[in-house]
Amino acid sequence: MADYDFERLSVLIVEDSLFIRSLLINSLRILGVGKVYAEDHGGQAIEFLKKVKEDPMAAGTQEVDIVMSNWQMSPVDGMMLLRWIRRHKESPDRFVPFILITAYSEPKRVTQARDLGANEVLAKPFTITAIGEKLISIIEKRRQFVHTRDYFGPDRRRRIVPIEFEDRRKLTDKSPGVEIVRG
Amino acid sequence: MASLQGRKVPTIVRFYRFRNRLKEKTHGLGGGTGSISEEALAEAEKALEQMAEDYPDWVSSLIAKLAEQHGRCVDTPEHRREFFEEINNIAHDMKGQGGTFGYPLITEFADSLHNFTTIRNDITDGMVELVKAHVDAMRAVIRGRVKGDGGEVGAQLKATLEKAIEKYKGK
């Protein structure tokens, strides 16, 4: 088992609290992440991402590999940013892994984040170990993306659970109406 | 559109299965599961501890903001709703920070403050007093550098706050 080399990674941090933002920037740099970008809130993050798409030279990077964003921010919060990334035509990468950081801990909030297409939720207050675990999960447990009438995001089934009764799921990869995109 | 025997069937679901570029970037093509270097993790922890030394100063400014909003609630009761919203936002931030820097009691008290300031119809004098009780409890945590669960001091602070909550409940 070898250690990851994060040198080629580019991570965007979106956090309005100065203190937490510097903590996140520091931690990622120490863990070896090659490029760390930080923005104050969702609106600025959207501007940055547009720049990455339109003028990567000026943005300083060709792509963003992971977005880590706080939820509650003003004027544009983390959920609005996530929606923009997943659905907007100007988004440079609708599939980019998204870690939502939040002090909200109610299960319904976590479900809400999941249903909007967040890959991971990092609960505040967090530890360094928790940051590491989320990174590992993003890298190792890459899930397929699912696009249906009312959902676009990483597959919300994280595990393959054996079914001990009749499998009532109707669609398989070969069913009409199922399209597989590989790349 | 997928097709079935020449007939067009509308797409119900589209699956995107891409190769794992992140893994290629961070771990080469060697395969196997990677890990994060222990030394790097330890170093990051150390950096956090260093930042944690500044945390009391940082959070003191937030507590001062809470005290200021409390003062406004007393002075201009007709604007309590907006002040409570601000208090609610600050409490949410504090809840998310304390524990990271070794002050879980700040997180706990901020959580309590956040919960009861989540806007409801009437903001009573009792609720305004309760904001003050939370501010006092947080100040005591920071003044005394009460880390972790705070042992006896921590228990005492919690008990005092609970008594205040009991006293002003419904008032």
ipTM of the complex: 0.88
- Judge contact between A1 and B34, C-beta under 8 A: yes
Q: Which residues of chain A have a CB within 8 Å of the CB of B86? A: none
Choose among B16, B25, B97: nearest Cβ to A20.
B97
- Judge contact between B16 and A144, C-beta under 8 A: yes
Mean pLDDT for B38-66 is 94
Q: How far is A126 from chain B (nearest CA, A)?
A: 5
Q: Which residues of chain B have a CB within 8 Å of the CB of A131? A: 44
Q: Tell me how many helices (H) and strands (E) chain B has.
A: 7, 3
* The predicted structure's pLDDT at residue B5: 56
Q: Which residues of chain A have a CB within 8 Å of the CB of B37? A: 3-4, 31-32
* The predicted structure's pLDDT at residue B101: 94
Cα separation, B80 vs B69, in Å, equals 9
pLDDT exceeds 60 at position B149: yes
- What letter does residue A162 receive in the DSSP assignment? P
Cα separation, A67 vs A49, in Å, equals 10
Choose among B14, B15, B16: nearest Cβ to A95.
B16
% residues pLDDT > 70 (chain B):
93
Q: Is B12 on the interface with A (CB under 8 A)?
A: yes
Rounded to 10 deg, the angle between the B80-95 and B55-75 helix axes is 160
Q: Is A141 on the interface with B (CB under 8 A)?
A: no
What tens digit of pLDDT does each residue of A13-50 get? 999 998 899 999 999 999 999 999 999 999 999 999 99
pLDDT exceeds 60 at position B65: yes
Q: How far is A84 from chain B (nearest CA, A)?
A: 19
Higher pLDDT, A73 or A159: A73
Tell me the sheet residues that pair with A37.
A12
Q: Is B31 on the interface with A (CB under 8 A)?
A: no
A4·B27 Cβ contact <8 A: yes
Q: Which residues of chain A have a CB within 8 Å of the CB of B9? A: 176-177
Choose among A2, A129, A183: nearest Cβ to B30.
A2
pLDDT exceeds 80 at position A146: yes
Phi, psi for residue B58 in degrees, rounded to 5: -60, -50
